[in-house]
Amino acid sequence: MRFDLISLGDHLPDPHTHQYNETQAERHAMWVDLAVQAEALGFGAIWFGEHHCSDYIISSPQMILAAAAVRTSRIRLGTAVSILPNNDPVRLAEDFATLDLLSKGRAEIGFGSGFTEHTFALFGQDLNLSDKISAENLELIQKLWNEREINWAGRFRPPIQGLQIEPRTFSGKALPINRATATSIEVARDAGRSGQKLMLMTVAGRFADAKPLAAAYRENYRAAGHDPAGMSVSAIAYVHVRRDGARAREFWHPYRDNYRAFTRGLTRARGITRGLRELYATISSDRMAQREGDFCGDPSEVLDKIAWAYAEMGGFDTMICFFDLGGISRADTMATIDLFAESVMPKVDNAVGNAAHNQNGRPI
């Protein structure tokens, strides 16, 4: 199993002190440092999310990734996600080709539709056309990367006639595309048919509910005859690990609750997109109170939780770990990542193998 690291870029006061642990500038510098640390510890990729007009302060993740590119040499660099309907595909193609050149071929891009409605008003778009805009943008961005001279006309942006988009990607071909969803089996199927990768937003729901999406993706990927080596399903979890499990929960739960209060307030104030509404409608209030995506405890407890989630979901290739939520400090973030890499990552494959033979029960 591969492990990746993600940050969505929330900048919140510490729930223990009610003060910010870092300034916005210090937080941005920390995210670049996270990429350096993650590479040294053996993580496969680092991902940053795009948000606008909130206490999520990463609005241009490709800028942070570009800074990380010049300080790293192996780790892959991607977005989780770039908001596909809100971005002009020409600018995305140019930005990510530039990132790919700076990183010598390590760039990836994750696409999703976002989870708040306000970005559509911000960029002058019709929320009801989100799916159609996304489909058109996805088609165009791949064309821009794969073809030299572009002749294209669509519905939602001006046509392109006889132009060549520069720079080219490092390979001269389209970058790896990751499709993100929490609920859409159609997105999963389309990602499989298209030979893309699948990111399942398991922090928002139940791992068992993600199982049919992963299965549909794999079925369609194989049926389309794509290279098996490129097939990839990722799951995402909030992670905090300490030597003492009780101390881990005592310390971390206020950060988790702080983050959830922030996201609840944001979605109530700004509205949520259809996919998130559908997800919330399927989860009971009890499930919402006790999210399955919380992986907090001592190394053994976190290891057991990963193995359980793997069995619940019918397997996944990559676990994407979200460490820095809710106002937690740089020092505490770095410390838990170090311990996770030292005491959890080397033991996961054995734990997952054992779980495959005994899928009864759920770790605490």
> For 146-160, what is each residue's pLDDT tens digit?
999 999 999 999 999
Name the residue type at position 326. Answer: G
Token representation of residue 300: 């053994």
Return d(Cα 182, Cα 206) in angstroms, integer.
Answer: 10
The residues near 258 (Cβ < 8 Å, ≥ 6 apart) are: 12, 13, 15, 326, 327
Element (H, E) at 236: strand 233-241
| Residue 203 clears pLDDT 60, i.e. is over it | yes
CA dist 362 and 308 (Å) reads: 6
Query: Nearest-5° angle of CA 278, CA 12, CA 63?
Result: 80
Q: Two tokens at 273?
A: 């997109």
For residue 284, pLDDT beyond 50: no
232 falls within a domain: yes
Q: Rounded to whole angstroms, how far apart are CA atoms 96 and 118? A: 25
Secondary structure of residue 267 in the 3-state scheme: helix
Segment 167-193 shows an average pLDDT of 97
What is the model's pLDDT at position 354? Answer: 73
- What is the percent of the chain with per-residue pLDDT over 90, rounded to a whole number? 85
Is the four-CA dihedral 296, 47, 178, 127 of positive or negative sign? positive
Confidence at residue 300, expressed as pLDDT on a 0 to 100 scale:
98
The whole-number pLDDT of residue 353 equals 81
Q: Report which of residues 265 and 338 the model is more confident about.
A: 338
Q: What integer pLDDT is reported at residue 114 of this predicted model?
A: 82
Give the structural domain span for 325: 2-357
Predicted confidence at residue 281, as pLDDT, reads 53
* Residue 340 resides in a domain: yes
Distance between CA 271 and CA 89 in Å, rounded? 25
Find the length of the chain.
364
Residue 186 in any domain: the answer is yes
Q: Hey, which residues does 109 pair with through a beta bridge?
A: 177
In a domain, 362, yes or no: no
Sequence-distant contacts of 265-272: CB under 8 A, at least 24 apart? 266/54, 266/55, 266/116, 267/115, 267/116, 270/54, 270/116, 270/117, 270/118, 271/116, 271/117, 271/118, 272/115, 272/116, 272/117
In a domain, 363, yes or no: no
- DSSP helix/strand/coil, 348: helix
Cα distance between residue 61 and residue 18, in whole Å: 27
Assess whether pLDDT exceeds 60 at residue 278.
no
Q: Kindly state the average pLDDT of the residues 354-364.
A: 48
Q: Does residue 364 register a pLDDT over 50?
A: no
- The C-alpha atoms of residue 348 and residue 318 are separated, in whole angstroms, by 11
At 357, the pLDDT band (50, 70, 90 cuts) reads very low
Q: How far apart are the first and last CA of the chain?
A: 22
Query: How confident is the model over 302-346, as pLDDT tens digits?
Result: 999 999 999 999 999 999 999 999 999 999 999 999 999 999 999
Query: Residue 361: its pLDDT value, please?
Result: 44
| Residue 276: closest CA among 331, 186, 201, 216 | 201
| Helix H or strand E segment including 16 | none
Number of helices (H) and strands (E), helices first, in the chain?
13, 12
Q: What pLDDT sits at residue 359?
A: 44
Position 273 scores a pLDDT of 57
In a domain, 116, yes or no: yes
Q: What is the CATH number of the domain that holds 16?
A: 3.20.20.30
3-state secondary structure 71-127: CCCCCEEEECCEEHHHCCHHHHHHHHHHHHHHCCCCECEEEECCCECHHHHHCCCCH
In a domain, 64, yes or no: yes
**pLDDT at residue 236, rounded to an integer:** 98
Q: Is residue 364 part of a domain?
A: no
* Total domain count, the chain: 1
The interaxial angle of helices 24-41 and 61-69, nearest 10 deg, is: 50
Eight-state DSSP code of residue 204 = G
What is the pLDDT, as a whole number, of residue 355?
62
Q: What is the pLDDT of residues 59-108, one digit of tens each?
A: 999 999 999 999 999 999 999 999 999 999 999 999 999 999 999 999 99
Tokens standing for residue 31: 């995210």
Judge whether 183 and 283 are in contact, CB under 8 Å. no
- Give residue 275's pLDDT band: very low, low, confident or very high (50, 70, 90): low
pLDDT band at residue 173, thresholds of 50, 70 and 90?
Answer: very high
